[in-house]
């Protein structure tokens, strides 16, 4: 079992990564907990035993279920059961479950502890680490949320065995991102060590900038184009697949801005290709449409902000030149 910490002073918490990590749940519950509310989805074949009185609360599947209605349902069910601030919420699922249950835990009784048991690869290396919780509004994704750090995270490699192949690939897109955030030889590591390396990287970034005042934005590497493709909505792309294309675009853009050389672009193509992820922008999306979607990105405050590689490493960069943005897009088609 690989044991890591997300170092946040008196809110520091452990992350266990390994085969069977979920069986360590009871020893990681906050001291004095009497009851555990387990939040999961009917389709997730992962049972956990907190070794205290517990009930299972099933929520719906997909982004539509990640909403305020589900948060209200969970909080009302917990209130009717008598869950208190001395108890715990245990989220067992992918990012949809960990984000929603984490947010419900953040607001129920003004905050009760949550233990995250991510069951997707994306959840283990990204969504369940770092304390961002939240839900969608009809107006947009993740528009309501809170920073609420878990008291522990259990990344059980065994549970990934039942993930549909497409969901596994989805996680590989985010994994490819970490290869450019300083995690070396990621593709050569056994899965538990690769997950742990990504967790260590995210933990270090989160510890340095918990509330995304600056550096945490580097975790959005590859995401500006990814969000544009997802917002356009006409493509059969999972988030991680869109990020993979976004990584190639970010490299092509950085090269045109003189920040990296052709060899570094080739490295991006090699890493993304080695995970068998898509690298090409769908042909039917027009350049003008993409550039307009960039402008609507959450990070576009003073111009279009990209997270780009360069001599000082990965950092946010404002890009205004439409011709450069368009040329990089052509190179990604």
Active site residues: 110, 132, 174, 202, 212, 216, 220, 223, 227, 239
Question: In the complex, what is the shortest distance from the CB of residue 124 to ligand NAD, in angstroms, rounded to a whole number?
Answer: 9
Report the residue number, 170 or 332, with the smaller CB distance to ligand NAD. 170
Question: In the complex, what is the shortest distance from the CB of residue 264 to ligand NAD, in angstroms, rounded to a whole number?
Answer: 25
Stretch that binds ligand NAD, among 89-97, 188-196, 206-214, 279-287 (CB under 6 A): 89-97
Decide if residue 204 touches ligand NAD (CB under 6 A). no
Choose which of 70, 170, 220, 332 interacts with ligand NAD (CB under 6 A): 170
Spatial separation of the C-alpha atoms in residues 194 and 186, rounded to whole Å:
6
Decide if residue 167 touches ligand NAD (CB under 6 A). yes
Residues 214-233 that bind ligand NAD (CB under 6 A): none
Stretch that binds ligand NAD, among 19-27, 30-38, 72-80, 116-124 (CB under 6 A): 116-124
Decide if residue 67 touches ligand NAD (CB under 6 A). no
Decide if residue 99 touches ligand NAD (CB under 6 A). yes
Decide if residue 71 touches ligand NAD (CB under 6 A). no
Choose which of 142, 193, 231, 287 interacts with ligand NAD (CB under 6 A): 142
Choose which of 18, 113, 130, 246 interacts with ligand NAD (CB under 6 A): 130
Which residue(s) pair with 53 in the sheet?
35
Choose which of 35, 57, 101, 119 interacts with ligand NAD (CB under 6 A): 119
Q: Which residues lie near ligand NAD (CB under 6 A)?
A: 41, 43-46, 61, 63, 66, 93-97, 99, 119-120, 122-123, 126-127, 130, 132, 142, 159, 162-163, 167, 170
């Amino acid at each position: 079992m690989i044991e890591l910490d997300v170092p946040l002073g008196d809110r520091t918490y452990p992350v266990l990564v390994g085969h069977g990590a979920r069986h360590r749940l009871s020893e990681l519950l906050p001291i004095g907990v009497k009851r555990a509310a387990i939040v999961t989805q009917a389709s997730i074949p992962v049972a956990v035993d907190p070794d205290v009185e517990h009930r299972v609360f099933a929520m719906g599947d997909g982004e539509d279920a990640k909403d305020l209605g589900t948060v209200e349902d969970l909080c009302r069910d917990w209130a009717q059961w008598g869950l208190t601030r001395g108890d715990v919420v245990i989220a067992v699922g992918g990012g949809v479950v960990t984000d929603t249950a984490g947010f419900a835990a953040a607001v129920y009784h003004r905050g009760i502890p949550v233990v995250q048991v991510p069951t997707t690869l994306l959840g283990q290396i990204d969504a369940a680490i770092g304390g961002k919780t939240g839900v969608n509004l009809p107006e947009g994704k993740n528009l309501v949320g809170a920073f609420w750090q878990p008291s522990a995270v259990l990344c059980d490699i065994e549970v990934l065995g039942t993930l549909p192949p497409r969901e596994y690939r989805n996680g590989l897109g985010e994994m490819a991102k970490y290869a450019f955030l300083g995690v070396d030889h990621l593709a050569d590591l056994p899965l538990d060590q690769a997950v742990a390396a990504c967790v260590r990287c995210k933990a270090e970034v989160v510890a340095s900038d918990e509330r995304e005042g600056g550096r945490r934005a580097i975790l959005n590497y590859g995401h500006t184009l990814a969000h544009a493709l997802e917002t356009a909505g006409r493509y059969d792309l999972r988030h991680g697949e869109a990020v993979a294309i976004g990584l190639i675009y970010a490299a092509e853009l950085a090269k045109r801005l003189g920040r990296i050389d052709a060899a570094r672009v080739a490295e991006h193509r090699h890493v993304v290709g080695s995970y068998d992820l898509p690298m090409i922008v769908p042909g039917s999306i027009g350049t003008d449409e993409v550039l307009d979607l960039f402008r609507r990105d959450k990070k576009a405050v003073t111009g279009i902000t990209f997270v780009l590689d360069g001599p000082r490493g990965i950092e946010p960069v404002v890009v205004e030149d439409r011709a450069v943005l368009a040329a990089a897009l052509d190179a990604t088609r």
